Amino acid sequence: MKLETPRDLFLTHLQAAASVCPTRSTRPILTDVLVSVEGQRVEITATDGEITVRRSYEHEGVSGEGQAALPAGTLLSAVRSMTSDTLSLEPQGGAHELTGGKAYFKLQGDDPELFPAVPEVNAERGLELPLGDFVGLCQRTMFAAAREMGRYAFNGVLLEVDPKELTLVATDGRRLSKAALAVDTGVTERFSVVVPLKGLQQLQRLGASDDTQLRIEFRQTLVAFSVPGTEVRALLVEGEFPDFRAVMPKEADVPSTVTVDRQELAGAIQRATITAGDEGPAVALSLSAGSLRVASRQEGLGESRSDLVVDYSGDDVEIRFNPLFLGEYLKTMPETQVTFRFKDRASAGLFSSQESSVYVVMPITS
């Protein structure tokens, strides 16, 4: 393969694609990126066997032909270290020479014919919506997903498509975050799939441009996301996702309500985390007339408390939560106010900042 391209443009797309590559694998080809060039168009493809990312660009400063499978980490480090405006890749005795300005690298690669084929979509269903809207749903939900494998498909995010609404739901069994977007999806019947976290993280890397349209396509075992210059294809997570509607508290289940300034509450939670300890951390939300106290105490470490003025006139109550669960949630929302609904110290609490997104958290009772 021969390639000449602007260095910064190549680096931007290489960084995005290489982020999906494993650092080690029983299949060494998966640690490579496949660089393809035809005329003025460059494609960079990477996969971990489950998530495939393909980035592409066209530029008048690009020329070349062919393909090369090169180690993602080494290529990325080399290109980052270069200071030239352009770079060149050329085959040399079974390897590839990377040059630009005063820099020279000789990189060993693999046979590009061995690189896994990009999965074909053959879409059975699909829809379009603004990328920024979808990334917003991801930010409001993904933090609540489990990071480990388990009995249920908690390590993915439920994507539910309704004729007039798109919903994302994530849970780890102790908390659940749901966010919905009103959109004409074009489907006639509701359906849902479970998307791996890593696939959605690739979309977050694209930013949240309001004028970029995102295309989502589905087939039995695969979901594909595409915007101009980027394709992300992910194998769906196998397993059963819990019925989130069955665990969502009804309005009658959370009769008490208090609204708090988001930044004030986030600051109070952050301070309480300092003295909550590392093993079984807990912060106590103590409500009394006109006041919310956020406090923590850990034997041998110390204690802290913050008193917030709130509009509350109900009975005195103290409810304990994992501070990580509250802190992560408060970071995801752009709204200035958060509403907390509850019943008692032993029942799930419900947090919300708008009607279309809710966060359910189980309290600590032991």
Q: What is the pLDDT of residues 159-193, one digit of tens each?
A: 999 999 999 999 999 999 999 999 999 899 999 99
Is residue 218 a contact partner of residue 128, using CB atoms and an 8 Å limit?
no
Of 99-113, 207-221, 282-296, minimum mean pLDDT range:
207-221
Query: Model confidence at 239, in pLDDT bands (50, 70, 90)?
Result: confident
Three-state secondary structure of 73-117: HHHHHHHHHCCCCEEEEEEECCEEEEEECCEEEEEECECHHHCCC
Q: Where exactly does CATH 3.10.150.10 map onto the chain?
A: 2-114, 125-246, 249-361
The three-state secondary structure class of 23 is: coil
Q: What is the pLDDT of residues 257-313, one digit of tens each?
A: 999 999 999 999 999 999 998 888 999 999 999 999 999 999 888 999 999 999 998
What is the reported pLDDT for 154?
A: 80
Strand partners, 258: 340
* Mean pLDDT of all residues belonging to the chain: 93
CA separation for the pair 253, 233 (Å, rounded)? 40
Is residue 326 a contact partner of residue 269, using CB atoms and an 8 Å limit?
yes
CA separation for the pair 8, 80 (Å, rounded)? 9
Which pTM value belongs to this model? Answer: 0.90
N residues, the chain: 366
149 pLDDT more than 80: no
The CATH number given to 2-114 is 3.10.150.10
Is residue 173 a contact partner of residue 207, using CB atoms and an 8 Å limit?
no
151 pLDDT more than 60: no
The CATH number given to 249-361 is 3.10.150.10
The CATH number given to 125-246 is 3.10.150.10
CA separation for the pair 171, 159 (Å, rounded)? 12
